[in-house]
A and B are shown apart, each in its own frame.
Chain A
Amino acid sequence: MKWKIIAFTIFMCFLLVGCTEQAYEPKEMNKETDICKVCNMGIAFEDYAGQLIYKNGDYEVFDDLGCLVEFLKDVDESDVGAAFIKSADGEEWLSVEEATYVYSKDYWTPMNYGVLAFPSKDAAEQYMKEHGEGEVLSYEQLDDFQWGIHH
């Protein structure tokens, strides 16, 4: 009886593990070989890079948030496991859906789209205090954002 309980417990543990949502980890960039899926530019500025991970484990990399958002419009959402963007300080990968964004024509990015990602609204406001005002955007607003140069 004791063995049955142990076996049942182990079986349930495995079942629970199987049921948990798969965690997708951002991969490390390779400056030599990684190029943006959309515009073909090399990932020379890793602090602005983005990446998309498919559920099957494949991934695509992007040199700028704008390229990542453009790619997401054309991809089947059910195939996407996760999408990440580097935070403005280049320190961490942020989930694109959870990040806060700030646009300013004076912010530089590799494609000059001028949109930076932050882990929180506070971090975004702090950045604006130090580097000049910008317009705060949510992930949903990026969908209609006019990507391009705005000089």
Chain B
Amino acid sequence: MRTMISCLSFLLFCLAYVHEAEAKADLQSILEHQEEGATIYIPAGIYEGNFTISKEATIIGDGKVVLKPKNPKEPVLTIAEAKHVYLQNVQINAPGTGMMIKDSHHVQLSNLSMSSVESGVEIYQSQHISIEEISVTGNDRHFANKGNGIAVFNSSDIFVKNNKIDKVQDGIYIENVQRITVVGNEVENSRYGTHFMYSKDAEAYGNQFRKNVTGFMVMMTENVDFSNNAISYQNGFNGTGITLYEVKNIHIQNHAVSGNRVAISIQKSTGANITNNRFQMNQTAIEAVQSDTNLVMKNVFVGNLVNVRSDVKGIQLKENYFDDYSGIDLNDDGIGDESYAALQSFGQWMVRKPVYQYYVESPSVVLLNQIDQQTNKTAKQLLVDETPATNFEKDHAVHFQLHWPQLVVGWILMIGCIMIWRRSVIV
């Protein structure tokens, strides 16, 4: 009996091994010889090689499909000069680049997982690319020695949604791209959450960036809309929530930006509209360097060490709420009767010499800020909000929401307690 079981086990092992080996050998030839537009289900297993897709196809991993490179210096999977390729449910383990898309259009990636990669997905000269619900985890080396999670070069009409990226250089790197949407992504423990360079017509909303050097790094880019992103704890020595460098026509609204060294740093930029954001517990909420005419309106500044600072002009303040505003509102219109002076001599010095940040809230600096508040109220040209809001609670309505599981458990517990109490009383 024991001998029979051993033989049967060995036979099953051999069968499984042969099946996997055949699949490994066949995957590239299947990809090459399939008809245009075919749907391919890849059986579960580990496949070793550097695979190329160059035909229209839908490729779906059927179970746990793991791709490993034969040549670690080449991408594990390359989509080249292809159109209408849909790839989903595949795992890639590679020390180098996970995937490359080149000279292709209408490619859709979803439910991919890449672990321990140097670089996740690289896209070159491609159009209409959609990347959804993929996870990229890099390695523990310094970010200077890593690649990017998702990198897009010289492309257009890109959609990057609901991806999770960790431990890479830049979570999403975008260079010379027109029309890109970045939505619902999470990037942590990397250099920049999303890095725009030389791009046009971009929007980013619903993203979460935590514990990176910078959340959004936007450089030489035009026509950008950012909204409803949560950017927190970029609090390293050079940490910033959002950095704008030579940016034109950018709208930043409805953000929660908290716990950063600098929430928004505006450099050599004009025409930024920063509205309806909440800046909370940052070392500095907004700084402007060599910038001009940027509107900061209807924002809430709470618990920041320095609310606004600038080296020259750069920022026009309107109807913002500042937690350290001490004016009154006699006519109860929600706007303070006195102007708020955000100008702080010390804040200006910090722009020029970042090391001064370590003296923030020292007694002499607090005294200096108090003097600034008194003397700068009469100044009207620089960092003065003439219409400061006295209330930031825009919505006083109380929203009720029933949590049924809690309600049921609560009732059961209460009835149980009453029954136990009654029994104890009867006894």
Contacts and interface: CB of A to CB of B under 8 A. Distances in A.
A25 B265 CA distance: 32
B144 A44 contact: yes
A46 interface: yes
Interface stretch (A3-11, A34-42, A116-124): A34-42
Given A31-B142, A151-B176, A112 B238 contact: no
Nearest to A35: B238
A57 to B, nearest CB: 15
B237 A149 contact: no
Given A40-B265, A40-B267, A33 B243 contact: no
Nearest to B143: A44
Where chain A touches its partner, the secondary structure class is loop
B175 interface: yes
A87 B144 CA distance: 18
B356 to A, nearest CB: 15
Interface stretch (B30-38, B66-74, B85-93, B212-220): B212-220
A39 B237 contact: no
Contact of A151 (B154, B237, B243, B265): B154
A31 B243 CA distance: 19
Contacts of A151: 154, 176, 198
A33 B144 contact: no
Interface in B140-156: 142-144, 154
Nearest to B197: A112
Q: How large is the interface on B (under 10, 10 to 19, 20 to 34, 35 or more residues)?
A: 20 to 34
B169 interface: yes
A151 B217 CA distance: 21
A112 B265 contact: no
Nearest to A31: B144
A112 B217 contact: no
Q: Which of A45, A148, A149 has the most CB of B within 10 A?
A: A149
Contacts of B267: 39-40
Contacts of B233: none
Interface string A109-151: 0011000000000000000000000000000000000001101
A148 B220 contact: yes
A33 B154 CA distance: 31
Nearest to A43: B144
Contacts of A44: 143-144, 169, 191
Interface string B206-250: 000000010001011000000000000000111010010100000
Q: Which of B142, B154, B169, B198 has the most CB of A within 10 A?
A: B198
Contact of B144 (A39, A40, A46, A148): A46
Interface string B287-317: 0000000000000000000000000000000
Given A40-B265, A42-B191, A112 B175 contact: yes
A32 interface: yes
Interface in A42-89: 42-46
Given A40-B265, A112-B198, A149-B220, A45 B238 contact: no
The 3 closest A-B pairs by CB, nearest first: A44-B144, A149-B198, A35-B238
27 contacts: A31-B142, A31-B144, A32-B237, A33-B237, A33-B238, A39-B219, A39-B245, A39-B267, A40-B238, A40-B240, A40-B245, A40-B267, A41-B219, A42-B144, A42-B238, A44-B143, A111-B219, A112-B175, A112-B197, A112-B198, A148-B220, A149-B197, A149-B198, A149-B220, A151-B154, A151-B176, A151-B198
